[in-house]
Structure 1
Protein backbone atom coordinates (compact mmCIF):
# COMPACT_ATOMS: atom_id res chain seq x y z
CA UNK A 1 0.00 0.00 0.00
CA UNK A 2 2.79 2.40 0.98
CA UNK A 3 4.61 1.58 -2.25
CA UNK A 4 1.54 2.42 -4.31
CA UNK A 5 1.04 5.69 -2.44
CA UNK A 6 4.69 6.59 -2.98
CA UNK A 7 4.38 5.87 -6.71
CA UNK A 8 1.22 7.99 -6.88
CA UNK A 9 2.88 10.88 -5.04
CA UNK A 10 5.93 10.68 -7.29
CA UNK A 11 3.74 10.59 -10.38
CA UNK A 12 1.78 13.64 -9.23
CA UNK A 13 4.99 15.48 -8.38
CA UNK A 14 6.43 14.85 -11.83
CA UNK A 15 3.15 15.89 -13.44
CA UNK A 16 3.04 19.17 -11.51
CA UNK A 17 6.71 19.83 -12.33
CA UNK A 18 5.99 19.25 -16.00
CA UNK A 19 2.98 21.59 -15.91
CA UNK A 20 4.99 24.23 -14.09
CA UNK A 21 7.77 23.92 -16.68
CA UNK A 22 5.26 24.25 -19.50
CA UNK A 23 3.76 27.35 -17.86
CA UNK A 24 7.13 29.12 -17.89
CA UNK A 25 8.35 30.93 -20.97
CA UNK A 26 12.14 30.97 -21.08
CA UNK A 27 14.04 33.72 -22.84
CA UNK A 28 17.77 34.07 -23.55
CA UNK A 29 18.92 37.71 -23.45
CA UNK A 30 22.26 38.26 -25.23
CA UNK A 31 23.77 41.39 -23.80
CA UNK A 32 27.37 42.62 -23.48
CA UNK A 33 30.54 41.97 -21.51
CA UNK A 34 29.79 41.04 -17.90
CA UNK A 35 31.78 44.07 -16.71
CA UNK A 36 29.68 46.55 -18.71
CA UNK A 37 26.68 48.63 -17.72
CA UNK A 38 24.68 46.99 -20.53
CA UNK A 39 25.14 43.59 -18.92
CA UNK A 40 23.83 45.10 -15.67
CA UNK A 41 20.82 46.37 -17.62
CA UNK A 42 20.23 42.85 -18.89
CA UNK A 43 20.19 41.54 -15.32
CA UNK A 44 17.77 44.30 -14.33
CA UNK A 45 15.48 43.45 -17.25
CA UNK A 46 15.59 39.76 -16.31
CA UNK A 47 14.57 40.55 -12.73
CA UNK A 48 11.85 42.95 -13.87
CA UNK A 49 10.37 40.51 -16.39
CA UNK A 50 10.27 37.72 -13.83
CA UNK A 51 8.58 39.98 -11.27
CA UNK A 52 6.18 41.54 -13.75
CA UNK A 53 5.11 38.19 -15.18
CA UNK A 54 4.88 36.64 -11.69
CA UNK A 55 7.43 34.04 -12.69
CA UNK A 56 5.71 33.16 -15.94
CA UNK A 57 8.61 34.43 -17.99
CA UNK A 58 12.22 33.63 -17.05
CA UNK A 59 15.06 35.54 -18.72
CA UNK A 60 18.62 34.21 -18.71
CA UNK A 61 21.30 36.79 -19.46
CA UNK A 62 24.21 35.72 -21.67
CA UNK A 63 27.52 37.57 -21.88
CA UNK A 64 28.60 38.82 -25.28
CA UNK A 65 31.76 40.39 -26.65
CA UNK A 66 30.18 42.84 -29.05
CA UNK A 67 26.91 43.78 -30.73
CA UNK A 68 28.15 42.29 -34.00
CA UNK A 69 28.27 38.88 -32.31
CA UNK A 70 24.70 39.37 -31.08
CA UNK A 71 23.46 40.06 -34.61
CA UNK A 72 25.43 37.19 -36.14
CA UNK A 73 23.91 34.71 -33.71
CA UNK A 74 20.41 35.65 -34.88
CA UNK A 75 21.09 33.37 -37.87
CA UNK A 76 21.10 30.21 -35.80
CA UNK A 77 19.32 30.91 -32.52
CA UNK A 78 15.74 29.88 -31.79
CA UNK A 79 12.45 31.47 -30.83
CA UNK A 80 13.68 32.34 -27.32
CA UNK A 81 16.52 34.61 -28.52
CA UNK A 82 16.56 38.30 -27.57
CA UNK A 83 19.61 40.47 -28.15
CA UNK A 84 20.72 44.09 -28.02
CA UNK A 85 22.41 46.11 -30.74
CA UNK A 86 22.34 49.56 -32.34
CA UNK A 87 19.70 49.64 -35.12
CA UNK A 88 22.37 50.67 -37.64
CA UNK A 89 24.04 47.25 -37.27
CA UNK A 90 20.79 45.47 -38.18
CA UNK A 91 20.58 47.54 -41.35
CA UNK A 92 24.21 46.74 -42.21
CA UNK A 93 23.61 43.02 -41.63
CA UNK A 94 20.52 43.01 -43.82
CA UNK A 95 22.37 44.78 -46.62
CA UNK A 96 25.59 42.76 -46.20
CA UNK A 97 27.75 45.85 -45.77
CA UNK A 98 30.75 46.87 -43.64
CA UNK A 99 31.56 44.18 -41.02
CA UNK A 100 28.85 41.95 -42.53
CA UNK A 101 30.27 41.98 -46.05
CA UNK A 102 30.50 38.41 -47.30
CA UNK A 103 28.65 37.21 -44.19
CA UNK A 104 25.09 37.91 -45.28
CA UNK A 105 22.22 35.56 -44.50
CA UNK A 106 18.46 35.60 -45.27
CA UNK A 107 17.89 35.10 -41.51
CA UNK A 108 18.95 38.71 -40.92
CA UNK A 109 15.76 39.82 -42.66
CA UNK A 110 13.79 38.05 -39.92
CA UNK A 111 15.16 40.33 -37.16
CA UNK A 112 12.43 42.34 -35.44
CA UNK A 113 12.58 45.08 -32.78
CA UNK A 114 10.92 44.90 -29.37
CA UNK A 115 11.79 48.02 -27.33
CA UNK A 116 14.52 50.65 -26.90
CA UNK A 117 16.99 50.55 -24.02
CA UNK A 118 19.33 53.34 -22.82
CA UNK A 119 21.44 54.86 -25.59
CA UNK A 120 25.23 55.02 -25.64
CA UNK A 121 25.64 58.71 -24.83
CA UNK A 122 28.77 60.79 -25.35
CA UNK A 123 30.12 62.84 -22.43
CA UNK A 124 32.98 65.34 -22.76
CA UNK A 125 33.90 66.21 -19.19
CA UNK A 126 36.34 69.09 -18.55
CA UNK A 127 37.52 70.45 -15.22
CA UNK A 128 36.23 73.93 -14.49
CA UNK A 129 39.83 74.87 -13.63
CA UNK A 130 40.84 74.20 -17.26
CA UNK A 131 38.51 76.97 -18.39
CA UNK A 132 37.23 74.84 -21.28
CA UNK A 133 33.58 75.35 -22.21
CA UNK A 134 33.63 74.28 -25.87
CA UNK A 135 35.63 72.13 -28.29
CA UNK A 136 38.01 74.85 -29.55
CA UNK A 137 38.98 75.44 -25.93
CA UNK A 138 40.39 71.90 -25.70
CA UNK A 139 43.42 72.84 -27.79
CA UNK A 140 46.61 72.30 -25.80
CA UNK A 141 44.80 70.48 -22.99
CA UNK A 142 45.40 66.98 -21.61
CA UNK A 143 42.48 64.72 -22.51
CA UNK A 144 41.83 61.11 -21.51
CA UNK A 145 40.08 59.06 -24.20
CA UNK A 146 40.67 55.57 -22.85
CA UNK A 147 41.38 52.61 -25.12
CA UNK A 148 39.38 50.20 -27.23
CA UNK A 149 35.90 51.34 -26.19
CA UNK A 150 33.15 52.94 -28.25
CA UNK A 151 33.71 56.17 -26.31
CA UNK A 152 37.43 56.17 -27.11
CA UNK A 153 36.85 55.57 -30.82
CA UNK A 154 34.08 58.12 -30.99
CA UNK A 155 36.08 60.69 -29.01
CA UNK A 156 39.02 60.31 -31.37
CA UNK A 157 36.66 60.76 -34.33
CA UNK A 158 35.28 64.01 -32.88
CA UNK A 159 38.75 65.44 -32.29
CA UNK A 160 39.46 64.93 -36.00
CA UNK A 161 36.08 66.27 -37.11
CA UNK A 162 36.41 69.45 -35.07
CA UNK A 163 40.00 70.25 -36.06
CA UNK A 164 41.70 69.11 -32.86
CA UNK A 165 43.75 66.18 -34.17
CA UNK A 166 47.32 66.62 -32.95
CA UNK A 167 46.33 69.72 -31.00
CA UNK A 168 45.46 68.03 -27.70
CA UNK A 169 47.61 65.88 -25.47
CA UNK A 170 46.25 62.38 -24.98
CA UNK A 171 46.72 61.00 -21.49
CA UNK A 172 48.09 57.48 -21.03
CA UNK A 173 45.74 56.71 -18.16
CA UNK A 174 43.04 54.05 -17.87
CA UNK A 175 39.49 55.38 -18.07
CA UNK A 176 38.76 53.72 -14.72
CA UNK A 177 41.16 56.27 -13.19
CA UNK A 178 39.62 59.27 -14.97
CA UNK A 179 37.88 60.84 -11.98
CA UNK A 180 40.93 60.64 -9.71
CA UNK A 181 43.18 61.97 -12.50
CA UNK A 182 40.81 64.87 -13.13
CA UNK A 183 40.54 65.68 -9.45
CA UNK A 184 44.32 65.78 -8.83
CA UNK A 185 45.04 67.76 -12.01
CA UNK A 186 46.76 65.00 -14.04
CA UNK A 187 44.27 65.60 -16.85
CA UNK A 188 42.08 68.51 -17.94
CA UNK A 189 39.20 66.34 -19.07
CA UNK A 190 38.00 62.92 -20.16
CA UNK A 191 35.67 61.40 -22.72
CA UNK A 192 33.27 58.62 -21.84
CA UNK A 193 30.24 56.96 -23.40
CA UNK A 194 27.46 55.05 -21.72
CA UNK A 195 23.88 55.29 -20.58
CA UNK A 196 23.11 58.51 -18.78
CA UNK A 197 23.40 59.37 -15.97
CA UNK A 198 26.92 57.91 -16.23
CA UNK A 199 28.33 56.90 -12.82
CA UNK A 200 31.82 58.27 -13.53
CA UNK A 201 30.38 61.63 -14.63
CA UNK A 202 28.19 61.77 -11.51
CA UNK A 203 31.29 61.11 -9.41
CA UNK A 204 33.38 63.69 -11.25
CA UNK A 205 30.74 66.42 -10.94
CA UNK A 206 30.21 65.64 -7.25
CA UNK A 207 33.91 65.62 -6.33
CA UNK A 208 35.21 68.60 -8.30
CA UNK A 209 33.82 71.46 -10.40
CA UNK A 210 33.39 70.41 -14.04
CA UNK A 211 31.95 71.55 -17.36
CA UNK A 212 30.23 68.87 -19.44
CA UNK A 213 30.58 70.20 -22.98
CA UNK A 214 27.57 70.57 -25.29
CA UNK A 215 27.67 70.18 -29.07
CA UNK A 216 25.95 72.57 -31.43
CA UNK A 217 23.68 71.45 -34.27
CA UNK A 218 26.46 71.70 -36.87
CA UNK A 219 28.76 69.51 -34.81
CA UNK A 220 25.98 66.96 -34.28
CA UNK A 221 25.33 66.88 -38.02
CA UNK A 222 29.05 66.33 -38.66
CA UNK A 223 29.10 63.43 -36.19
CA UNK A 224 26.24 61.66 -38.04
CA UNK A 225 24.94 60.52 -34.68
CA UNK A 226 21.59 61.00 -32.94
CA UNK A 227 21.02 64.19 -30.95
CA UNK A 228 20.26 63.72 -27.27
CA UNK A 229 19.64 66.26 -24.51
CA UNK A 230 20.62 65.33 -20.95
CA UNK A 231 18.28 67.33 -18.69
CA UNK A 232 19.49 70.10 -16.41
CA UNK A 233 20.44 68.87 -12.95
CA UNK A 234 21.32 65.34 -14.05
CA UNK A 235 24.91 66.15 -13.08
CA UNK A 236 25.79 68.61 -10.32
CA UNK A 237 26.16 72.15 -11.60
CA UNK A 238 25.14 71.35 -15.18
CA UNK A 239 22.33 72.84 -17.25
CA UNK A 240 20.87 70.97 -20.25
CA UNK A 241 23.67 69.14 -22.07
CA UNK A 242 23.23 68.69 -25.82
CA UNK A 243 25.26 65.76 -27.03
CA UNK A 244 25.21 62.75 -29.34
CA UNK A 245 24.15 59.18 -28.84
CA UNK A 246 24.10 55.77 -30.44
CA UNK A 247 20.63 54.25 -29.95
CA UNK A 248 20.42 50.67 -28.65
CA UNK A 249 17.39 48.41 -29.07
CA UNK A 250 16.32 44.97 -27.87
CA UNK A 251 15.57 42.65 -30.80
CA UNK A 252 14.30 39.16 -31.47
CA UNK A 253 13.33 37.37 -34.70
CA UNK A 254 10.12 36.29 -36.36
CA UNK A 255 10.72 32.85 -34.81
CA UNK A 256 9.35 34.23 -31.52
CA UNK A 257 5.59 33.81 -31.32
CA UNK A 258 3.38 36.91 -31.13
CA UNK A 259 2.09 36.26 -27.60
CA UNK A 260 5.60 35.97 -26.17
CA UNK A 261 6.76 39.16 -27.91
CA UNK A 262 3.63 40.96 -26.70
CA UNK A 263 4.06 39.87 -23.08
CA UNK A 264 7.79 40.63 -23.06
CA UNK A 265 7.29 44.13 -24.48
CA UNK A 266 4.30 44.92 -22.28
CA UNK A 267 6.05 43.73 -19.12
CA UNK A 268 9.20 45.72 -19.94
CA UNK A 269 7.31 49.01 -20.26
CA UNK A 270 5.14 48.33 -17.21
CA UNK A 271 8.21 47.58 -15.08
CA UNK A 272 10.41 50.39 -16.43
CA UNK A 273 9.46 52.98 -13.81
CA UNK A 274 10.25 50.53 -11.03
CA UNK A 275 13.62 49.75 -12.61
CA UNK A 276 14.32 53.49 -12.70
CA UNK A 277 13.93 53.73 -8.94
CA UNK A 278 17.15 51.75 -8.47
CA UNK A 279 18.93 52.44 -11.76
CA UNK A 280 18.33 56.02 -13.01
CA UNK A 281 19.46 55.26 -16.58
CA UNK A 282 16.02 53.70 -17.16
CA UNK A 283 14.42 57.10 -16.54
CA UNK A 284 15.94 58.27 -19.82
CA UNK A 285 13.97 55.63 -21.74
CA UNK A 286 10.54 56.77 -22.88
CA UNK A 287 8.29 56.52 -25.92
CA UNK A 288 10.30 59.34 -27.51
CA UNK A 289 13.07 56.80 -28.17
CA UNK A 290 10.75 54.77 -30.40
CA UNK A 291 11.80 56.98 -33.33
CA UNK A 292 15.26 55.42 -33.05
CA UNK A 293 13.84 52.08 -34.20
CA UNK A 294 14.44 52.34 -37.94
CA UNK A 295 13.45 48.79 -38.84
CA UNK A 296 10.50 46.47 -38.45
CA UNK A 297 8.95 45.81 -35.03
CA UNK A 298 7.76 42.32 -34.08
CA UNK A 299 3.98 41.90 -34.68
CA UNK A 300 3.47 40.92 -31.02
CA UNK A 301 5.17 44.12 -29.87
CA UNK A 302 3.15 46.12 -32.43
CA UNK A 303 -0.01 44.78 -30.80
CA UNK A 304 1.11 46.26 -27.46
CA UNK A 305 2.12 49.63 -28.94
CA UNK A 306 -1.24 49.97 -30.68
CA UNK A 307 -3.05 49.16 -27.42
CA UNK A 308 -1.28 52.02 -25.62
CA UNK A 309 -1.58 54.46 -28.51
CA UNK A 310 2.03 54.67 -29.67
CA UNK A 311 2.17 55.94 -33.24
CA UNK A 312 4.38 53.75 -35.41
CA UNK A 313 5.91 54.58 -38.76
CA UNK A 314 5.21 52.62 -41.91
CA UNK A 315 8.79 51.32 -41.83
CA UNK A 316 8.31 49.99 -38.30
CA UNK A 317 5.25 47.97 -39.31
Structure 2
Protein backbone atom coordinates (compact mmCIF):
# COMPACT_ATOMS: atom_id res chain seq x y z
CA UNK A 1 0.00 0.00 0.00
CA UNK A 2 2.78 2.39 0.94
CA UNK A 3 5.36 1.07 -1.52
CA UNK A 4 7.21 3.82 -3.35
CA UNK A 5 7.54 1.79 -6.55
CA UNK A 6 3.78 1.27 -6.60
CA UNK A 7 3.48 5.05 -6.55
CA UNK A 8 5.72 5.34 -9.60
CA UNK A 9 3.68 2.73 -11.45
CA UNK A 10 0.52 4.63 -10.59
CA UNK A 11 2.06 7.88 -11.75
CA UNK A 12 2.92 6.46 -15.15
CA UNK A 13 -0.52 4.92 -15.51
CA UNK A 14 -2.17 8.19 -14.60
CA UNK A 15 -0.14 10.05 -17.15
CA UNK A 16 1.33 12.49 -14.66
CA UNK A 17 4.87 12.08 -15.93
CA UNK A 18 5.98 15.29 -17.56
CA UNK A 19 8.60 15.90 -20.21
CA UNK A 20 12.06 16.76 -18.94
CA UNK A 21 12.22 20.45 -18.10
CA UNK A 22 14.96 22.65 -19.44
CA UNK A 23 16.87 23.17 -16.19
CA UNK A 24 20.09 21.39 -15.27
CA UNK A 25 20.17 18.37 -13.00
CA UNK A 26 19.70 19.39 -9.36
CA UNK A 27 20.76 17.25 -6.42
CA UNK A 28 19.07 17.68 -3.06
CA UNK A 29 19.47 15.99 0.32
CA UNK A 30 16.19 15.30 2.12
CA UNK A 31 16.44 14.61 5.85
CA UNK A 32 13.38 13.41 7.71
CA UNK A 33 13.20 10.63 10.31
CA UNK A 34 14.67 7.31 11.34
CA UNK A 35 14.72 4.51 8.78
CA UNK A 36 11.71 2.23 9.10
CA UNK A 37 9.30 5.00 10.12
CA UNK A 38 6.42 6.28 8.03
CA UNK A 39 8.14 9.67 7.69
CA UNK A 40 11.28 8.06 6.28
CA UNK A 41 9.06 6.21 3.80
CA UNK A 42 7.47 9.54 2.85
CA UNK A 43 10.95 10.83 2.08
CA UNK A 44 11.53 7.88 -0.25
CA UNK A 45 8.21 8.60 -1.96
CA UNK A 46 9.06 12.28 -2.36
CA UNK A 47 12.46 11.35 -3.84
CA UNK A 48 10.86 9.01 -6.37
CA UNK A 49 8.17 11.57 -7.14
CA UNK A 50 10.68 14.36 -7.73
CA UNK A 51 12.70 12.19 -10.08
CA UNK A 52 9.63 11.11 -12.02
CA UNK A 53 7.96 14.50 -12.13
CA UNK A 54 11.11 16.31 -13.25
CA UNK A 55 12.06 13.79 -15.88
CA UNK A 56 15.15 12.87 -13.88
CA UNK A 57 16.37 16.43 -13.43
CA UNK A 58 15.75 16.55 -9.67
CA UNK A 59 17.65 13.85 -7.77
CA UNK A 60 16.80 13.61 -4.08
CA UNK A 61 18.96 11.61 -1.69
CA UNK A 62 17.11 10.60 1.48
CA UNK A 63 19.09 10.71 4.71
CA UNK A 64 18.02 9.11 7.96
CA UNK A 65 17.26 11.74 10.58
CA UNK A 66 17.61 11.53 14.35
CA UNK A 67 14.69 13.80 15.13
CA UNK A 68 13.17 17.14 14.27
CA UNK A 69 15.40 19.13 16.63
CA UNK A 70 18.55 17.66 15.11
CA UNK A 71 17.20 18.35 11.61
CA UNK A 72 16.94 22.03 12.52
CA UNK A 73 20.36 22.12 14.19
CA UNK A 74 22.03 20.82 11.04
CA UNK A 75 21.01 23.99 9.20
CA UNK A 76 24.12 25.58 10.72
CA UNK A 77 26.48 23.40 8.72
CA UNK A 78 24.46 22.60 5.59
CA UNK A 79 24.42 24.25 2.20
CA UNK A 80 21.78 25.17 -0.35
CA UNK A 81 20.94 21.55 -1.18
CA UNK A 82 19.50 20.77 2.26
CA UNK A 83 15.79 20.02 2.71
CA UNK A 84 14.52 18.81 6.07
CA UNK A 85 11.26 18.19 7.89
CA UNK A 86 10.19 19.55 11.25
CA UNK A 87 7.12 21.07 12.93
CA UNK A 88 6.77 24.85 12.37
CA UNK A 89 6.74 25.34 16.15
CA UNK A 90 10.34 24.09 16.39
CA UNK A 91 11.48 26.55 13.71
CA UNK A 92 9.91 29.34 15.74
CA UNK A 93 11.70 28.17 18.89
CA UNK A 94 15.04 27.94 17.06
CA UNK A 95 14.69 31.43 15.64
CA UNK A 96 13.80 32.80 19.08
CA UNK A 97 16.53 30.80 20.88
CA UNK A 98 14.01 29.28 23.28
CA UNK A 99 13.39 25.87 24.93
CA UNK A 100 15.71 23.20 23.51
CA UNK A 101 17.50 25.88 21.46
CA UNK A 102 18.30 28.13 24.41
CA UNK A 103 21.99 29.00 24.33
CA UNK A 104 22.32 27.32 20.92
CA UNK A 105 21.14 30.16 18.70
CA UNK A 106 22.69 30.72 15.31
CA UNK A 107 22.12 33.30 12.55
CA UNK A 108 21.46 30.40 10.17
CA UNK A 109 18.14 29.71 11.91
CA UNK A 110 16.80 33.07 10.71
CA UNK A 111 17.31 31.89 7.13
CA UNK A 112 15.01 28.83 7.40
CA UNK A 113 12.20 28.96 4.82
CA UNK A 114 9.23 26.63 4.20
CA UNK A 115 8.50 24.78 0.96
CA UNK A 116 5.40 22.60 1.43
CA UNK A 117 3.46 20.70 4.12
CA UNK A 118 3.64 16.94 4.54
CA UNK A 119 1.28 14.70 6.54
CA UNK A 120 0.82 15.85 10.13
CA UNK A 121 1.58 13.83 13.24
CA UNK A 122 -1.98 12.85 14.09
CA UNK A 123 -3.13 11.60 17.49
CA UNK A 124 -5.08 8.32 17.57
CA UNK A 125 -6.68 7.00 20.75
CA UNK A 126 -7.58 3.45 19.71
CA UNK A 127 -9.88 1.33 21.89
CA UNK A 128 -10.92 -2.25 21.23
CA UNK A 129 -14.58 -2.80 20.47
CA UNK A 130 -14.70 -5.25 23.39
CA UNK A 131 -13.64 -2.51 25.82
CA UNK A 132 -16.90 -0.68 25.22
CA UNK A 133 -15.13 2.70 25.40
CA UNK A 134 -16.75 5.30 23.15
CA UNK A 135 -15.21 8.44 24.67
CA UNK A 136 -12.39 9.41 27.01
CA UNK A 137 -14.48 8.86 30.14
CA UNK A 138 -14.88 5.27 28.97
CA UNK A 139 -11.12 4.75 29.26
CA UNK A 140 -11.31 4.77 33.06
CA UNK A 141 -10.22 1.46 34.52
CA UNK A 142 -8.84 0.22 31.21
CA UNK A 143 -5.30 -0.87 30.29
CA UNK A 144 -3.70 1.47 27.76
CA UNK A 145 -0.44 1.17 25.85
CA UNK A 146 1.29 4.51 25.31
CA UNK A 147 4.69 3.32 24.16
CA UNK A 148 7.89 4.97 25.30
CA UNK A 149 9.80 8.10 24.40
CA UNK A 150 7.82 9.11 21.33
CA UNK A 151 5.80 12.24 20.63
CA UNK A 152 2.64 10.12 20.76
CA UNK A 153 3.56 8.69 24.17
CA UNK A 154 4.30 12.11 25.65
CA UNK A 155 1.20 13.64 24.12
CA UNK A 156 -0.98 10.72 25.18
CA UNK A 157 0.19 11.00 28.76
CA UNK A 158 -0.51 14.74 28.68
CA UNK A 159 -4.05 14.20 27.41
CA UNK A 160 -4.81 11.66 30.15
CA UNK A 161 -3.91 14.33 32.67
CA UNK A 162 -5.87 17.06 30.89
CA UNK A 163 -9.01 14.96 30.67
CA UNK A 164 -9.04 13.78 34.30
CA UNK A 165 -7.73 10.26 33.69
CA UNK A 166 -4.36 10.45 35.42
CA UNK A 167 -4.11 7.50 37.80
CA UNK A 168 -7.42 6.12 36.53
CA UNK A 169 -6.03 3.97 33.72
CA UNK A 170 -3.40 1.27 33.84
CA UNK A 171 -0.42 2.02 31.60
CA UNK A 172 0.92 -1.12 29.90
CA UNK A 173 4.69 -1.63 30.04
CA UNK A 174 5.33 -2.56 26.42
CA UNK A 175 6.58 -1.14 23.15
CA UNK A 176 4.12 0.41 20.70
CA UNK A 177 5.27 -2.07 18.05
CA UNK A 178 3.43 -4.74 20.06
CA UNK A 179 0.17 -2.78 20.28
CA UNK A 180 -1.89 -4.62 17.67
CA UNK A 181 -0.89 -8.08 18.90
CA UNK A 182 -1.56 -7.06 22.50
CA UNK A 183 -4.97 -5.69 21.53
CA UNK A 184 -5.84 -8.90 19.68
CA UNK A 185 -5.04 -11.17 22.61
CA UNK A 186 -6.72 -8.96 25.19
CA UNK A 187 -3.57 -7.87 27.04
CA UNK A 188 -4.59 -4.23 26.56
CA UNK A 189 -7.86 -2.42 25.99
CA UNK A 190 -6.41 0.29 23.80
CA UNK A 191 -3.33 2.11 22.58
CA UNK A 192 -2.24 5.62 21.67
CA UNK A 193 -0.29 6.33 18.54
CA UNK A 194 0.76 9.43 16.61
CA UNK A 195 1.63 9.44 12.95
CA UNK A 196 0.25 10.22 9.57
CA UNK A 197 -3.25 9.03 8.79
CA UNK A 198 -4.33 6.47 7.84
CA UNK A 199 -1.94 4.99 10.42
CA UNK A 200 -0.82 1.47 9.40
CA UNK A 201 -1.15 0.04 12.92
CA UNK A 202 -4.66 1.48 13.26
CA UNK A 203 -5.61 0.09 9.84
CA UNK A 204 -4.42 -3.35 10.97
CA UNK A 205 -6.19 -3.17 14.32
CA UNK A 206 -9.47 -1.99 12.80
CA UNK A 207 -9.42 -4.72 10.17
CA UNK A 208 -8.44 -7.57 12.48
CA UNK A 209 -10.12 -6.92 15.83
CA UNK A 210 -12.57 -4.03 15.51
CA UNK A 211 -11.78 -0.76 17.23
CA UNK A 212 -13.19 2.63 18.15
CA UNK A 213 -10.94 5.62 17.50
CA UNK A 214 -12.00 8.23 20.03
CA UNK A 215 -13.02 11.76 19.06
CA UNK A 216 -12.24 14.89 21.04
CA UNK A 217 -14.86 17.55 21.65
CA UNK A 218 -14.11 21.21 20.98
CA UNK A 219 -13.25 21.92 24.61
CA UNK A 220 -10.80 19.01 24.72
CA UNK A 221 -9.13 20.16 21.51
CA UNK A 222 -8.73 23.64 22.98
CA UNK A 223 -7.18 22.22 26.16
CA UNK A 224 -4.47 20.42 24.18
CA UNK A 225 -3.35 23.63 22.40
CA UNK A 226 -2.76 21.53 19.29
CA UNK A 227 -4.12 21.84 15.76
CA UNK A 228 -7.60 20.40 15.19
CA UNK A 229 -7.75 17.70 12.51
CA UNK A 230 -10.63 15.63 11.12
CA UNK A 231 -10.10 12.06 9.92
CA UNK A 232 -12.93 11.42 7.45
CA UNK A 233 -15.50 8.68 7.98
CA UNK A 234 -14.54 5.46 6.26
CA UNK A 235 -10.80 5.91 6.76
CA UNK A 236 -10.70 2.85 9.02
CA UNK A 237 -12.79 -0.32 8.92
CA UNK A 238 -16.02 0.14 10.87
CA UNK A 239 -15.59 3.90 11.17
CA UNK A 240 -18.90 5.42 10.06
CA UNK A 241 -18.34 8.94 11.44
CA UNK A 242 -15.63 11.57 11.20
CA UNK A 243 -13.00 11.46 13.94
CA UNK A 244 -12.06 14.80 15.49
CA UNK A 245 -8.54 14.70 16.87
CA UNK A 246 -5.40 16.81 17.17
CA UNK A 247 -2.22 17.03 15.18
CA UNK A 248 1.26 18.47 15.07
CA UNK A 249 1.85 19.97 11.60
CA UNK A 250 5.04 18.92 9.80
CA UNK A 251 6.59 20.89 6.95
CA UNK A 252 9.45 20.48 4.47
CA UNK A 253 11.93 23.32 4.88
CA UNK A 254 15.14 24.60 3.33
CA UNK A 255 17.08 27.84 3.79
CA UNK A 256 17.77 30.96 1.78
CA UNK A 257 21.00 29.27 0.64
CA UNK A 258 18.84 27.32 -1.84
CA UNK A 259 18.41 29.19 -5.11
CA UNK A 260 14.94 30.34 -6.08
CA UNK A 261 14.66 28.13 -9.16
CA UNK A 262 15.41 24.94 -7.23
CA UNK A 263 12.89 25.84 -4.51
CA UNK A 264 10.31 26.64 -7.17
CA UNK A 265 10.80 23.35 -9.01
CA UNK A 266 10.74 21.30 -5.80
CA UNK A 267 7.48 22.92 -4.69
CA UNK A 268 5.85 22.75 -8.12
CA UNK A 269 6.82 19.12 -8.67
CA UNK A 270 5.57 18.11 -5.22
CA UNK A 271 2.09 19.57 -5.71
CA UNK A 272 1.70 18.45 -9.32
CA UNK A 273 2.50 14.86 -8.37
CA UNK A 274 0.75 14.69 -5.00
CA UNK A 275 -2.45 13.11 -6.38
CA UNK A 276 -0.44 10.27 -7.89
CA UNK A 277 1.46 9.85 -4.65
CA UNK A 278 -1.87 9.39 -2.85
CA UNK A 279 -2.71 6.48 -5.16
CA UNK A 280 0.14 4.47 -3.68
CA UNK A 281 0.18 5.91 -0.16
CA UNK A 282 -3.11 7.08 1.28
CA UNK A 283 -1.53 9.46 3.81
CA UNK A 284 -0.84 11.96 1.00
CA UNK A 285 -4.59 12.31 0.45
CA UNK A 286 -4.86 14.33 3.64
CA UNK A 287 -2.40 16.99 2.44
CA UNK A 288 -3.96 20.02 0.80
CA UNK A 289 -3.29 23.73 0.29
CA UNK A 290 -5.27 24.61 3.42
CA UNK A 291 -2.39 23.11 5.45
CA UNK A 292 -0.23 26.05 4.38
CA UNK A 293 -2.11 27.92 7.09
CA UNK A 294 -0.16 25.88 9.65
CA UNK A 295 3.11 27.47 8.53
CA UNK A 296 3.79 30.33 10.92
CA UNK A 297 7.08 31.52 9.42
CA UNK A 298 8.28 32.61 6.01
CA UNK A 299 8.21 30.59 2.81
CA UNK A 300 11.12 30.43 0.38
CA UNK A 301 10.81 32.98 -2.46
CA UNK A 302 10.90 30.12 -4.98
CA UNK A 303 7.99 28.42 -3.23
CA UNK A 304 6.12 31.74 -3.05
CA UNK A 305 6.47 32.07 -6.81
CA UNK A 306 4.76 28.71 -7.31
CA UNK A 307 1.90 29.47 -4.92
CA UNK A 308 1.28 32.81 -6.58
CA UNK A 309 1.20 31.19 -10.02
CA UNK A 310 -1.19 28.54 -8.69
CA UNK A 311 -3.49 31.18 -7.18
CA UNK A 312 -2.98 29.89 -3.64
CA UNK A 313 -3.36 32.59 -1.02
CA UNK A 314 -0.57 33.21 1.48
CA UNK A 315 -0.50 35.41 4.54
CA UNK A 316 1.61 38.56 4.77
CA UNK A 317 3.78 36.93 7.44
CA UNK A 318 4.62 34.05 5.07
CA UNK A 319 5.90 36.31 2.32
Q: Provide TM-score, normalisation by structure 1.
A: 0.92
> Which position in structure 1 is the counterpart of 2:36?
35
1:6 corresponds in structure 2 to none
Counterparts of 2:81 and 2:177 in 1: how far apart (Å)? 35
Structure 1 vs Structure 2 CA RMSD? 0.9
User: Aligned runs of 1:17-96 on 2, under 5 Å?
Assistant: 23-96=24-97
Distance 1:147 1:87 in 2: 24
1:169 is aligned to 170
- Stretches (4+) displaced over 4 A: none
| Structure 2: runs of 5 or more not aligned | 1-22
Alignment of 1:134-283 (within 5 A): 134-238=135-239, 239-283=241-285
Alignment partner, residue 9 of structure 2:
none
Distance 2:32 2:191 in 1: 26
Q: How do 1:304-315 residues align onto structure 2 when only pairs under 5 Å count?
A: 304-315=306-317
CA distance in 1 between counterparts of 2:38 and 2:48 reads 15
Helix, strand or coil: the match of 1:23? coil
Query: How many aligned positions are there?
Result: 296
Instruction: Tell me the residue number matched to 2:4.
Output: none
Shift, 1:303, TM fit? 0.4
Partner of 1:288: 290
Matches within 5 A, 1:102-113: 102-113=103-114
**1:136 Cα deviation after fit:** 1.2
Q: Measure, in 2, the Cα distance between the counterparts of 1:96 and 1:117.
A: 25
Give the Cα–Cα distance (whole angstroms) in 1 for the partners of residues 130 and 54 of structure 2.
51
Q: Give the drift of 1:174.
A: 1.7
Aligned to 1:10: none
Q: Return the alpha-carbon distance in structure 2 between the equivalents of residues 146 and 33 of structure 1.
A: 17
Structure with larger Rg: 1
Q: Which has the higher contact order (CA 8 A, sep 6+)?
A: 2
